[in-house]
């Protein structure tokens, strides 16, 4: 039961009214730092009720009510494979649509998921500026696509899902080998693999994005994954074997404030932040690919608190965290693995699913009762519920 683009102030009033009228009283309805409502914060909350806000749009957010209890999702519901998904790399979900970027097709494809058992392609766009489309972030009427061979961040108008249209692009030396993008407010925060940089781009005018700041340090060697929350950007660096925390409060002058490099972060790749923890995938660890949990409550001194490595994480790529579970996709084991992270010091694998439609699983997004996985060699979007 979503409603769109409301301020937290308005949202809080609505939540209070809704919860009180549902008979849930004495409820703490302020969102926590990463934009979620943690059910454990709700005094008198009813078992099986979860109230949360997407972690990716913390300044003007759509709100979702998911009254289903947290559950481990391991049944394939639907899948779609088309030429426009050739080399499906990453995925973002918003409303009734999934947005998938495909590296080999050089394309952004929009898929209607209103019926999860029968996803339908609605529109696609392929341009030179999407050459090697690798990562995607969606906010409002725009999709922001990082294309690794075009060395560009391209902005696509998705207001009409059947006819996405390129409206702006930016390509600079600092974007050589661009890998990931995270959008917040008027800025896109972008990692670039070759110059070892975090680049900050002003996107207030989507038709004319402009670089406003950047930072390059040895701790960003092979910068890959990024997550932004509050005044900080959290970057996983593949060759620095590190998670590095950058103060972005001044977009023109980002500053490194903390870093951590351990054997369990060898080949740091994907990053997801929730609460006081960062969840980092590492693809070169001796144990055979690892999910590592880092305490970031003190940004100047991040500390490793837990790790897990199993056969189902072979070729680990990206992670999405919701409630007490981390959903991890792995490229070599062709799998989605669900890990219980309720105790960050001792993560436990609960279940895994591997099918031909998950061949070289690379991108993952969780929303409502479903997990959405982009698989590179299967050329698919697969929905698991």
**Is residue 297 scored above 90 in pLDDT?**
yes
Give the per-residue pLDDT at 74: 61
Cα separation, 360 vs 224, whole angstroms: 18
Mean pLDDT, residues 228-238 taken together: 95
pLDDT band, residue 286 (cuts 50/70/90): confident
| Residue 328: pLDDT over 90 | yes
- Say what percent of the chain tops pLDDT 70: 81
- The answer for residues whose C-beta is within 8 angstroms of residue 379's C-beta and 6 or more apart is 81, 82, 83, 85, 86, 87, 88, 102
Tell whether the model's pLDDT for residue 30 goes beyond 90. no
What percent of the chain lies above the pLDDT cut of 90? Answer: 75
Q: Which tokens is 193 given?
A: 């693999």
**What is the mean predicted confidence (pLDDT) over 190-197?**
96
pLDDT at 48: 40
Q: Which long-range contacts (CB under 8 A, 24 or more apart) does 168-177 make?
A: 168/203, 168/205, 168/206, 168/207, 168/208, 168/209, 169/129, 169/209, 170/201, 170/209, 170/210, 170/211, 171/129, 172/199, 172/211, 174/199, 174/211, 174/214, 174/216, 175/151, 175/199, 176/151, 177/148, 177/151
Residue 260 has pLDDT above 80, yes or no: yes
**How many Å apart are CA 293 and CA 209, to the nearest integer?**
34
> What is the per-residue pLDDT for 116?
93
Mean per-residue pLDDT, 228-251: 96
Q: What is the mean pLDDT of residues 319-348?
A: 95
Tally of CB atoms within 10 A around 141? 12
Tell me the domains of the chain and their CATH numbers: 3-66 (no CATH), 76-275+354-384 (2.130.10.10)
Ramachandran angles phi, psi of 11, nearest 5°: -60, -40
| pLDDT at position 214 | 98
Chain-wide mean pLDDT for the chain? 85
> In 3D, which of 186, 318, 301, 178 has the Cα closest to residue 244?
301
Q: What per-residue string of b and e applies to 258-282 under the rule 16 or more CB within 10 Å gives b?
A: bbbbbebbbbbbbbbbbbebbbbbb
pLDDT category of residue 139 using cuts at 50, 70 and 90: very high
What pLDDT score does 313 carry?
95
**Token output for 353:** 């699913």
pLDDT greater than 80 at residue 39: no
Question: Residue 50: is its pLDDT beyond 80?
Answer: no
- Tokens read off for 73: 């999702």
**Contact 68/52 with Cβ under 8 angstroms?**
no
Q: Which two tokens stand for residue 3?
A: 């409603």
Higher pLDDT, 43 or 305: 305
Instruction: Say if CB 118 and CB 96 are below 8 A apart.
Output: no
Structure tokens that stand for 380 in this block:
């698919």
Q: How far is CA 79 from CA 14, 50, 224, in A?
A: 36, 27, 28
Q: Which range in 14-18, 174-178, 350-354 is most confidently predicted, on average pLDDT?
A: 174-178
Section 216-237 average pLDDT = 96
11: confidence class by pLDDT, cuts 50, 70, 90: very low
Q: What angle do CA 260, 153, 175 make, to 5 degrees?
A: 55
Determine the Cα–Cα distance for residues 299 and 216; give it in Å rounded to an integer.
18
pLDDT bracket for residue 22 (50, 70, 90): very low
pLDDT band at residue 385, thresholds of 50, 70 and 90? confident
Is the pLDDT at 68 greater than 80? The verdict is no
Between 205 and 289, residue with greater pLDDT = 205
Using only C-alpha atoms, the chain has a radius of gyration, in whole angstroms, of 19
pLDDT at 67 over 80: no
Res. 113 pLDDT band, cuts 50 70 90: very high
What pLDDT does residue 368 have? 82
Q: What is the DSSP letter of 358?
A: G
Which pLDDT value is given to residue 73? Answer: 54
Query: Residue 320 in contact with residue 366, Cβ under 8 Å?
Result: yes
Contact predicate 377/384, CB 8 Å: no
Tokens, residue 365: 């997004």
């Amino acid at each position: 039961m979503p409603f769109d683009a409301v301020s937290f102030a308005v949202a809080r009033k609505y939540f209070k009214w809704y919860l009180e009228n549902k008979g849930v009283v004495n409820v703490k309805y302020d969102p926590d730092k990463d934009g979620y409502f943690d059910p454990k914060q709700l005094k008198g909350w009813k078992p099986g009720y979860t109230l949360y806000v997407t972690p990716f749009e913390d300044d003007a957010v759509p709100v979702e009510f998911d009254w289903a209890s947290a559950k481990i999702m391991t049944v394939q519901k639907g899948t779609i494979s088309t030429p426009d998904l050739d080399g499906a790399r990453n995925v973002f979900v918003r409303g009734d649509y999934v947005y998938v970027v495909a590296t080999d097709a050089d394309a952004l494809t929009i898929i209607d998921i209103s019926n999860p058992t029968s996803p339908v392609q609605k529109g696609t766009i392929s341009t030179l500026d999407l050459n090697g489309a690798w990562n995607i972030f969606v906010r409002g009427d725009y999709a922001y696509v990082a294309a690794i061979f075009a060395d560009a961040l391209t902005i696509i108008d998705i207001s009409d899902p059947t006819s996405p249209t390129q409206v702006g692009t930016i390509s600079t030396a600092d974007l050589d080998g661009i890998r990931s993008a995270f959008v917040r407010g008027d800025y896109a925060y972008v990692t670039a693999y070759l110059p070892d940089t975090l680049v900050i781009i002003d996107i207030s005018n989507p038709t004319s994005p402009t670089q406003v700041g950047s930072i390059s340090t040895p701790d960003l060697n092979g910068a890959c994954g990024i997550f932004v929350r509050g005044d900080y950007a959290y970057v996983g660096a593949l060759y620095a074997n590190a998670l590095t925390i950058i103060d972005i409060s001044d977009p023109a002058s980002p500053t490194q404030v903390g870093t951590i490099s351990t054997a369990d972060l060898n080949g740091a790749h994907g990053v997801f932040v929730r609460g006081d923890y960062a969840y980092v995938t590492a693809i070169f660890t001796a144990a055979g690919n690892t999910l590592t949990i880092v305490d970031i409550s003190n940004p100047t001194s991040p500390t490793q608190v837990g790790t897990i490595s199993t056969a189902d994480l072979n070729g680990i790529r990206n992670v999405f965290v919701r409630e007490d579970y981390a959903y991890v996709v792995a490229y070599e084991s062709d799998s989605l693995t669900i890990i219980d992270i309720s105790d960050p010091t001792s993560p436990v694998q609960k279940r895994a699913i591997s099918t031909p439609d998950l061949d070289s699983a690379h991108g993952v997004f969780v929303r409502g009762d479903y997990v959405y996985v982009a698989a590179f060699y299967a050329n698919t979007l697969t929905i698991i519920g």
